[in-house]
Structure 1
Amino acid sequence: MFPGPTIPNRQPHREPWSRERLMYERAIAMGNAIDSTSRYTYGSALNSYLTFVRIHNFPVDPTEETLSFFTVYTSNFIQPRSVASYLSGVCNQLEPWFPNVRAARRSMIVTRTLEGCLRLKSVPVSRKRPLSLDDLQIVLSHFHHNPSHDDLLFISMLLTGFFALMRLGELTFADNPRLRNWRKVSRRSTVTFNDIQYSFHLPSHKADRATSLAEHAVSPTLIQAMGRWSSEAFKIYVRKHPVLLHALLFGADH
């Protein structure tokens, strides 16, 4: 028995789609489920996986054994922490055809193979020192005399990115036209300015000035809120940046 409406039906009349149209529109929607940059990266990971199974005469089916072999093989050519990203890309790209791929990725043999490769082959990450106000002053002093137009643009990007809590990706445009996304671009039409300040609307809000804020005794809770970080993401960011952790601990003393 087909259920009837519980309230008066005010829906406009809509023509039904054919099954082919539904499948086509669904494929388009699924293809745009992730950002174009992520889709490009995941596609590269899938190409690596397909090459691996082809040269080793393995079936494409991403079983636990195949994924573990792919992990140990690829870890000999790239950093194992990058292999973890490759596995995420393989799962994303193959899941429509192999629904159990994520279960295979989470299996003990794959996770322990990756953990072993991380212990055997990882090298320390070399991170740049965070920018400080003194660094900005050095840049301004360097370009103080007769700066070119490009110099002024660089200074504007540097200062805007620092004080507006923006990341590099929010200040630049991808060289590859296929990776450009106008929804992530700050519009010139939103810019307002006066004698003492300027402002514009961001399509999204992310933080990168956390160290400077911490040095000035800003509460970690406020830094997290301004950066729109989730609790777990902020903890990871602090844990991976010892300079920020030091600033949080001793910033209130200055």
Structure 2
Amino acid sequence: MTSAADTLLEVARSPLGLLGITLGGYQAGRWLLRRTGDHALAQPVLVAVVVAGGAITLLGVEYADYRSATEIVAFWLGPATVALAIPLHRQVDRLRGFVVPLLVAVVLGAAASISSGVLLARWLGAEQALEETLAAKAATTPVAIALTEPLGGIPALAAVFAITIGIVGAVAGPATLHLLRIRDRRARGLALGAVSHGVGASRMLREHETEGAFAGLSMGLSALAISVLLPVLALLLW
């Protein structure tokens, strides 16, 4: 006879159970965020990663099985990203006189991101595969994976770098911008969206709608700029 504990474990390991753990972890993060007064470390994505990672480790679930069970979450990331255009539409008047500086900043930022990752890895004595993996670190996770594989990097590790940078940027970005005395909400959103993509954009939306709108715009433009510049810079860097 199957015990209640065994039944509970089977439910937890099922696709529905794994999806529930993931969503529950994110909701726990939102609750913690409210309870701590929007503390920088209480990022819902970070809490969800810790909860889901701990759960699948304890349950002995392979990542491939977990990924398959939570595919619906990955599917809805696309519409959620597109929805970032809504606050930008409301802030379209703020683009006047800012388009040229925005485009210049995005292109230079993408070039600096690619070059710094590669050169830092090389300076530390890393293998070329790691250099190629770090090159697309500031792009959104799907873009980073797609760009890394043709270069000869490690796509799975590229996803880890992109997610980690997104979380770190969301945690430390606003405070860093404050210390640097960057007050323009457009510039703040532009900076964090370029570095921390979706996670950073969601954080900046909580800071101010203008910051969130420009973070969403920057996220998309940065991914495009990195996609265009990476093949060109690859010829110079390797």
TM-score calculated relative to the size of structure 2: 0.28
Structure with more relative contact order (C-alpha pairs < 8 Å, separation 6 or more): 2
Q: TM-score normalized by structure 1? A: 0.27
Higher helix share: 2
Q: Which has the larger radius of gyration?
A: 1
